Amino acid sequence: MSTFDPAALECLAAIVEEGGFERAAVRLSITQSAVSQRLRSLEVQVGTVLIVRSRPLKPTKAGRLLLKHAMQMRLLRADLECDLKELSPGAAGAAGEEERISIAVNADSIATWALPALSPLAHQGLGLEIITDDQDFTFEWLREGRVLGCVTTLRSALRSCKVEPLGSMQYVAVAEPGFAATRCPQGLSPHNFNTVPFVAFNRKDDLQSEFIAHACGLKHVALSQLYVPSSEGQVRAVQAGWGVSVLPELKVRDKLRAGTLVDVMPGQHLSVALYWHCWNLNSAVLDALTQALKSAASVALSADEGKSKTKR
């Protein structure tokens, strides 16, 4: 079996993660020509092209396999770093790019329960990179070998991966009190939901229409939507009177209690099941990540399984 140069593997990872040769060179502190040479040496060794020179750059199937191998090498180094810290606390320095552990988490989880879950690991010196994407796409990051794990609504595990149920996130429809009093004084119903604007995360976010369809017993709905690609930004837009938004109850709980936001469909909620997927490897780092997320989710999320849908 071929042995691949770790520096060349990291070079491939840097090209994909940074989105280009020039930025990869800056990150690795080498010339752009050296980046090209290292990639070329890997391609010669494998016997096929590893990067599609498109905009944006994309790894080929062979490139994704080697990228996954590079991630596994990072995981091995991170595990070794943890073991060394146990033998000699304080001896190890900050994690470099080659030890950084990447995971993909949806924006609503980051805005509510996921960051507190990961804080102890960050304080212990684990080099984390959190990729934010639509939950359908977080799964694709794992499928392509670009992250070690992901939080997603998809239940079925990939080959060589394991899946852990986390619980369900509850979503409610909220608005600023003045907006609600003017535009939907009796709340939202099947007869007036299409007369108010909704604040969605982005064009991939179908949560608003899923909620209304679920609450109103409809198969398909068409909404007038504004887009704010930030969970915190959505809350601020709703508070500013932009429209209605379907948001995590965890995120808006205090504002509902304080009266700065109101529930415009009382008694209605959408329960979205979340799952943690990661590679099925014997790794102290992966075990720590899994345990941290499961423990925090058991407190923050509902125990019911909810609807396994693709959400942001």
pLDDT digits (tens, 9 = 90+) for 91-111: 445 555 556 889 999 999 999
Q: Which residue has the higher pLDDT, 46 or 172?
A: 172
Instruction: List the domain boundaries for the chain.
Output: 1-98, 169-272
Q: Read off the tokens for 267.
A: 């008694």
> Which pLDDT does position 261 carry in this prediction?
98
Q: Which residue has the higher pLDDT, 71 or 173?
A: 173
Q: Read off the tokens for 11.
A: 């070079």
Of 97, 130, 78, 75, residue with least CA distance to 27: 97
The residues, ordered by sequence, that sit 6+ positions from 204 with a Cβ below 8 Å of its Cβ are: 134, 136, 137, 312
Q: Is the dihedral of CA 186, 189, 193, 197 positive or negative?
A: positive
> Which pLDDT does position 87 carry in this prediction?
62
Q: How far apart are CA 12 and CA 31, in angstroms?
A: 14
310: confidence class by pLDDT, cuts 50, 70, 90: very low
158: confidence class by pLDDT, cuts 50, 70, 90: confident
pLDDT at 312 over 50: no
127: confidence class by pLDDT, cuts 50, 70, 90: confident
Of 221, 222, 225, 270, residue with least CA distance to 247: 270
Mean pLDDT across the chain, nearest whole number?
89
Burial of 212 (0-12, 13-18, 19+ CB in 10 A): buried
> Which pLDDT does position 74 carry in this prediction?
86
Q: Read off the tokens for 299.
A: 């407190």
Q: Which CATH number fits domain 1-98: 1.10.10.10, 3.30.460.20, 3.30.70.20, 3.40.50.300?
A: 1.10.10.10
Q: How far apart are CA 277 and CA 50, in angstroms?
A: 26
311: confidence class by pLDDT, cuts 50, 70, 90: very low
The residues, ordered by sequence, that sit 6+ positions from 225 with a Cβ below 8 Å of its Cβ are: 197, 198, 199, 200, 208
Residue 299 and residue 144 in contact, taking contact as beta carbons nearer than 8 Å: no
Which pTM was predicted?
A: 0.77
Least confident of 34-48, 58-72, 127-141, 237-251: 127-141
**Partners of 200 in the beta sheet?**
227
What is the CATH number that goes with domain 169-272?
Answer: 3.40.190.10
Please provide the distance, in angstroms rounded to a whole number, between the alpha carbons at the two ends of the chain. Answer: 41
> Which pLDDT does position 89 carry in this prediction?
53
212: confidence class by pLDDT, cuts 50, 70, 90: very high
Q: How far apart are CA 237 and CA 89, in angstroms?
A: 46
Q: What are phi and psi of 273, to 5 degrees?
A: -75, 135
> Which pLDDT does position 88 carry in this prediction?
57
Q: How far apart are CA 155 and CA 164, in angstroms?
A: 9
User: Are 1-98 and 169-272 equal in CATH topology?
Assistant: no
Of 159, 148, 151, residue with least CA distance to 76: 148
